[in-house]
Structure 1
Amino acid sequence: MLAPCPSPFNMAAYVLEAARENPGKTALVIAGPAKAQRWRYGEIRAHVAAIAAGLLGHGLQPGDRVLLRLGNTVEFPLAYLGALWAGLVPVPTSAALTVPEITAIAADLRPALVIAGAEVPLPAHPAPVLPEAALHEMEGEVAPQMGDPERLGYVIYTSGTSGRPRGVMHAHRAVWARRMMWEGWYDLREDDRMLHAGAFNWTYTLGTGLMDPWARGATAVIPAAGVKPEQLPLLMARHDATLFAAAPGVYRQMLRQVPEIRAPKLRHGLSAGEKLPEATRTAWTAATGTEIYEALGMSECSTYVSGSPARPAPEGASGYPQPGRRIRVGEDGHLAIHRSDPGLMLGYLDAPEETAARHDGDWFLTGDTVAEGPDGAITYLGRNDDMMNAGGYRVSPLEVEAAMTDHPGIIAAAAVEAEVKPGTTVIRCFYVGPEGIDESHLSDFAASRLARYKCPRVFTRIEALPSNANGKINRTLLRHRPLDPA
């Protein structure tokens, strides 16, 4: 069982505790095909403390919200931890979000500051903007702002069933709760070298690829911007990766190009973000001689069900509740998490009614439908709502539909997650209009309004959207509609 989170507590200070014990150890490798950049624990801590001092020197007060608009660079985790160190509330966001999307988030968030990377779209918002280059000019040091581990630490935006992104508020103690994954999923050790295939500014990378290895005193390896999936095996071998983490889509792309992977130090792979196809798991084992351990989770609570080397999941199952987690599977198969779980969110930002609606007494309703085996193994069956999954990101169909119906040639639209081949799904948009519209034109139109991962990959014109007995779009029927023949 997990011990209670220490108090007083600061998430950034906890994550960088290894810097006090072993400042000369390599904390981060930014790995490219030709060269690598290395950061020691002492260097990371010094930069974080200086950034904290600099942000407070700009007049920010503990509790102020800082919107991060940074690309796939080391400035992302430095700014994130620097804000936490100072008692500020960092809000990481995807660099892929368009101006309209990030403007809507900023209006909801009301940030006191925006930290901006080069060529990353910024919101139309009056908050002052700090260029990322200024982070390296900050000097000095302040002590970490210690306090109640229950206080607000950071906010993550995720797509909601309302069709607009919603802020998920997490306490500082959420990072302490991630210790349940160290044995329940990763088998994470101090001498590990974790290669995570994602970008710095993806929350999966931020947690699994950086925060957890650093909190354990291990080494994080992150691919440099522009590294392709087929180049990842080279990085595994060159940097002695012992663990490899990625979304299923990255595994698929990599294994198509490299059917045999030689990484002598590799113990196993980790997968999250979407359901891992059994064919991908089999191909990985054939390529590496190791296993993939899958995890099920969500922005509101990180991961809570997983397989691990100590307790592998049965075939077809996602795994078991991580030791210390308290979950419930209802008679209808709906998965819920008890409000006492230290990793559970504080609530949705400025939305107490929506927060209350996701609870059944003391239980938070995840929206996932699962089957529980006689030994407690959990098999993921899908969402009990209509949320879609695109490369590990949850996407609301209402958000996609709202963007596409802005097109003058579209009267109505419906977005669903559709399987285009076994184990591979994309967002498919059905639309009603007086005539067919060129697919490349629709793709360009979607890209001007939606982040790349939210854009439909398949467009289908139909005469009318099917509806169910309640008058709502029958998405089940659309999901199972076959693709048009080529």
Structure 2
Amino acid sequence: MDIWPPCPAPFNLAHHVLAASAARLPDKSALQIVTPTGAERWSYARLEAAVRGCGTGLLALGLEPGDRVLMRLGNGVAFPVLFLGAIAAGLVPVPTNAALTTAEIGRMAAVIGPKLIVADAGVALPDPLPCAVVMAERLAQWEALPPCDWAMGDPERLAYAVFTSGTSGRAMAVGHAHRAIWARGMMHQGWEGLGESDRLLHAGAMNWTYTLGTGLMDPWTLGATALIPAAGVKVEALPLLLKRFDATIFAAAPGVVRQMLRAPLPPLPKLRHALVAGEAMPAALARDWHEKTGTGVYEALGMSECSTFVSASPRRPAPEGAAGYAQDGRRVTVLDAEEGAGVLAVHRSDPGLMLGYLGDEAATAARYRGEWFVTGDMVRMAPDGAITYLGRGDEMMNAGGYRVSPLEVEAAFAGLAEVAVTEIEVKAGVRVIGGFYVGDASEAEMQARAEERLARWKQPRLWVRLDALPRNANNKLNRRALVALYAERGRP
């Protein structure tokens, strides 16, 4: 295992992402928001100007270093401009999914205590508002402002936060240090196979840490070009975009790859390989991708708390069925191994590891066992270090790449029905959230409640009414039994 060099100091995440590439390649295309009919193009010089102008605009509002900025933006260039602009100025952006409901974003705002919200029109905001709101179109005016100074400092200080759902069902804010971007250097060859000449097309929404890191910041750190489909572009259009815009690397969740392969693909002569993360990829899907594109597809394991740390790569493919190997510079182990399987853990010295859950020291401490951060993912490690993912040990669900707590989903139906949810495999390689309930409500009423209180990816995709929920001898809900019940009974 190679030892990854320590992060330099003083340091600023946004400076590391943009400054060198903008100075060296000012006229090169840094970002293209692509559609089947064209693209919105941003050079490195313009992107840096927009980011640093945004920093100036934010500070002019009276914000101070360390203040938190809640982001309520969709899939447009304003998203990375605000994210990096806030960090450049020493502020702490908190990206969120634009599809969250008023109740959901209100709970998140209460956790982080924002001093400013920046929002697209029509996006749900906390009620009542905890602070001032700036509409996204104002960011375009800030591009012409004088550039802010890069706020250099300790690489251990808080840079940004992202939300994940813990096993308690509460939205938990994962705080990351500026050094997190330095740690991503281990992925450039340990997973992505990424270089300056690449054109990487990522199919995810910008608020997803997978897109934000692999789709935007990693290409910009290396001087490559990031290609992002515009809002509203359908999965069926992605093969055309890959071909038309000469993508050399494609990144997506396995579910997106599966949808793409349902139709014939055009020749993709410039494509070298694909990257997948967010959920486990079946071996059959990887074989299908290779047969239809002639390129490899490389998987990574990661989480909001540590991004990716185990992966396959072009220089070290994984054996079939395995996710990959610990990236060079990473220290991982398998705890509590029985019959070769145990819980994957990452050493607490990993520079990509979170600072902690904001405002919840107890939850942070609970994730550690001595020197190891316990991921909760069940794996098997082969003698050569290849790691095979076996599932989540904490009953967390994974819907389209988003980790979802069953407790959070179940709480949305309080007063309407007694509900339990879990992941259900509806066909080979396709898993959805299944809802099981006891009560007199109709399926339509259950779905209406879900749409009212839960973002789309958290909503159950199927419903089964039961006489009673399965419980163990201690009267604890047995979610694993729900899978067997569905297999036995299916939909009524």
Same fold (TM over 0.5): yes
Does 2:277 correspond to 1:272?
Answer: yes
1:92 aligns with 95
Does 2:268 correspond to 1:263?
Answer: yes
Does 2:81 correspond to 1:47?
Answer: no
1:237 aligns with 243
Q: How many angstroms does 1:485 deviate by?
A: 5.0
| Counterpart selection for 2:122 from 119, 144, 149 | 119
Question: How many corresponding residue pairs?
Answer: 480
- Secondary structure of 1:136 counterpart: helix
2:460 aligns with 456
**Aligned equivalents of 2:213 and 2:329: distance in 1?**
19
2:67 aligns with 64
1:344 aligns with 353
- Secondary structure of 1:62 counterpart: coil
- Secondary structure of 2:227 counterpart: strand
* Cα deviation 1:400-446 (Å, max 9, x = unaligned): 00002242xx1x1101011111100000111111x3x4323322220
**Contact 1:74/1:200 (CA < 8 Å) preserved in 2?**
no
Q: Mean alpha-carbon deviation: is it higher for 413-422 or for 464-473?
A: 464-473
* Cα deviation 1:51-94 (Å, max 9, x = unaligned): 00000000000000000000111100100000000000000001
**Contact 1:91/1:155 (CA < 8 Å) preserved in 2?**
yes
2:316 aligns with 311
- Secondary structure of 2:134 counterpart: strand
> TM-score, length-normalised on structure 2?
0.96
* Cα deviation 1:193-249 (Å, max 9, x = unaligned): 000011222221111100100001100000011111111011111111000000011
**Residue type at the aligned position of 1:326:** R
**Contact 2:463/2:491 (CA < 8 Å) preserved in 1?**
no
**Aligned equivalents of 2:266 and 2:403: distance in 1?**
30
Does 2:427 correspond to 1:394?
Answer: no
**Aligned equivalents of 2:491 and 2:100: distance in 1?**
33
2:14 aligns with 12
**Residue type at the aligned position of 2:392:** R
**Residue type at the aligned position of 1:461:** R
| Counterpart selection for 1:190 from 172, 189, 196 | 196
**Contact 2:114/2:130 (CA < 8 Å) preserved in 1?**
no
**Contact 1:261/1:287 (CA < 8 Å) preserved in 2?**
no
**Aligned equivalents of 1:306 and 1:126: distance in 2?**
41
2:207 aligns with 201
Q: How many angstroms does 1:479 deviate by?
A: 2.1
**Contact 2:93/2:160 (CA < 8 Å) preserved in 1?**
yes
**Contact 1:7/1:148 (CA < 8 Å) preserved in 2?**
yes
Residues 1:42 and 1:126: Cα distance change in structure 2 (over 3 Å):
same
- Secondary structure of 1:157 counterpart: strand
Q: How many angstroms does 1:282 deviate by?
A: 1.7
**Residue type at the aligned position of 2:455:** A
* Cα deviation 1:126-146 (Å, max 9, x = unaligned): 210010011111212111100
Equivalences for 1:403-482 in 2 at 5 Å? 403-407=412-416, 410=417, 412-433=418-439, 435=440, 437-481=441-485, 482=487
- Secondary structure of 1:166 counterpart: strand
1:331 aligns with 336
- Secondary structure of 1:404 counterpart: coil
**Aligned equivalents of 2:130 and 2:265: distance in 1?**
52
Q: How many angstroms does 1:469 deviate by?
A: 3.1
- Secondary structure of 1:213 counterpart: helix
**Residue type at the aligned position of 1:8:** P
| Counterpart selection for 2:381 from 342, 366, 372 | 372
- Secondary structure of 2:412 counterpart: helix
Does 2:105 correspond to 1:105?
Answer: no
- Secondary structure of 2:109 counterpart: helix
> TM-score, length-normalised on structure 1?
0.97
**Aligned equivalents of 2:318 and 2:484: distance in 1?**
29
Equivalences for 1:262-301 in 2 at 5 Å? 262-301=267-306
**Aligned equivalents of 1:470 and 1:290: distance in 2?**
51
**Residue type at the aligned position of 2:276:** S
